[in-house]
Structure 1
Amino acid sequence: MLRLAVELGFKAVLVEPDEVRLQGTPRPHGDQVVHDLAAADLDEGTDVVLSDHHRAEIGVVLKEALAARTRWIGILGKPAVEGPHVAMLRELGVPAAEIGRVHRPIGLNIGARTPAEIAVATLAGLIAERNGRPGGFEF
């Protein structure tokens, strides 16, 4: 997703809190790698995509992204199942209206199954959103 995002005009920032996960893996093609959201300079023009919906810290990360008043926030996951992020955000005292700002699933409904297809669907959805187009988000 990072590689394609850069080609599509996005400033791609990988936020990986766990430095151990980055050891032994090639540096992703993107603008930068940081270890926390504060270093990512979030603002009202920022789109946030969480690609790992089973990590323990997603509630805290999403709460920070919501507080930064980012433009768009999404997390990967199946549309038929409530994501674990919902309970995590409730536990952190995040109001329901703010939790509702987190899109799930993310990306266009193109039947994406592989990581590359999911990346294309996600980025196409962000382009549609950026351009004020409906883009086919309905599932």
Structure 2
Amino acid sequence: MDGTDLHVLRNAAAWQAAGRRTALVTVLRTWGSAPRPAGALLALSADGRLAGSVSGGCVEEDLLERHGRGEFHGRPTLLAYGVSREQGRRFGLPCGGTLELLVEPDPDPALLERLVAALERRELLARQVDVRSGRCALQPARRSQDFAYDGAVLTCVHGPAWRLLLIGAGQLSRCVAQMAPLLDYEVIVCDPREHYAATWDVAGAPLDTGMPDDVVRARASDARSAVLALTHDPKLDDLALLEALVSDAFYVGALGSRANNAKRRARLAALGVPAAALARLHGPVGLAIGSRTPPEIAVATLAELTAVRRGVRLAPAAAVPASPQRVSA
């Protein structure tokens, strides 16, 4: 699956190529309970098409109408929505939320095509826009680089800013690898077992057949990386965890029951992993949402990664009450 930015930019490039008047809209700053964060992207065409979003829908409708009337042309336009109580009601912005937007009319088609091609190659690029003149440039970005706006220059970082290393090329890894790009992860799968490697075919998620400890050291040891051990095979999972738990990876998790995870922790402690490092291990992996199938477990796992990435403090799984089963009539 493609990330959200790629979907937006690909549509904008196609509309430009077809001769439709196009505009890119970026959320610059927000105040209060804004529906979308700074950096959210929207593409508009003058014939009423849109891709992406900057709000819950009403702001998009207003932007489409104004773009259709030809209000956006030449240099970029700065707009604010939700400044007044009346605007907040009209545009559906909750709790006094306010959006500041930049509208870029008719972005450079060649630059858009270059950006889309780079994102399709899973590259990470920064798009810098001079807000007054509209001049735009592309340059390589770092995974540690974030969206920035200083009142004069907008810097949007596009591409997979996070890396997710999956140990094992089984069915759960397949589900996670298909979903994770939507959350801006570059996915790498590690499995040295020939019978699994032979059938791995998830586009955009390359397979590394090296040993897990070597792959963690080489490709997933920084603070923007997460490591998931999903093989159920201690010979592979434990190798990865020995390296990942003492790395800077922001998340380290392992699949398995509570009993199996207790045994895993005992093995790792016996191999010299410090108690503080063991405390970083998420296991059983994923939020306690009653998931059973591989797609459900993938959802639970990516939800937990999102919470950790956003700094949300999670309750222990044992403290989460089980939902009563619904009985059909």
TM-based fold match above 0.5: yes
Letter in structure 2 aligned against 1:53: H
- After TM superposition, the runs of 4+ consecutive aligned structure 1 residues lying more than 6 A away are none
Distance 2:301 2:219 in 1: 20
Which of residues 48, 65, 72 is equivalent to 2:244? Answer: 65
Share of identical aligned residues, percent?
A: 34
Aligned to 2:206: 32
Which of residues 55, 61, 81 is equivalent to 2:234? Answer: 55
Query: Cα 1:105–1:30, aligned 2, differ >3 Å: closer, same or farther?
Result: farther
Tell me, yes or no, if structure 1 residue 43 matches structure 2 residue 217. Answer: no
Larger radius of gyration: 2
Tell me, yes or no, if structure 1 residue 3 matches structure 2 residue 178. Answer: yes
Tell me, yes or no, if structure 1 residue 16 matches structure 2 residue 191. Answer: yes
Q: Could you say what the CA RMSD is over the residues aligned between the two structures, in angstroms?
A: 2.0
Any stretches of 5+ residues in structure 1 without a counterpart?
A: none
- CA-CA distance at 1:70 after TM superposition: 1.1
Aligned to 2:117: none
Structure with the bigger percentage of strand: 2
- CA-CA distance at 1:134 after TM superposition: 3.6
- CA-CA distance at 1:53 after TM superposition: 2.9
Q: What SS does the aligned partner of 1:13 have?
A: strand
Q: Indicate conservation of the 8 Å contact 1:58/1:85, yes or no.
A: no
Aligned to 1:113: 292
Query: Cα 1:19–1:94, aligned 2, differ >3 Å: closer, same or farther?
Result: same
Higher relative contact order (CA 8 A, sep 6+): 1
Q: How many residue pairs get matched?
A: 137
Q: Indicate conservation of the 8 Å contact 1:15/1:37, yes or no.
A: no
Query: Cα 1:46–1:137, aligned 2, differ >3 Å: closer, same or farther?
Result: farther
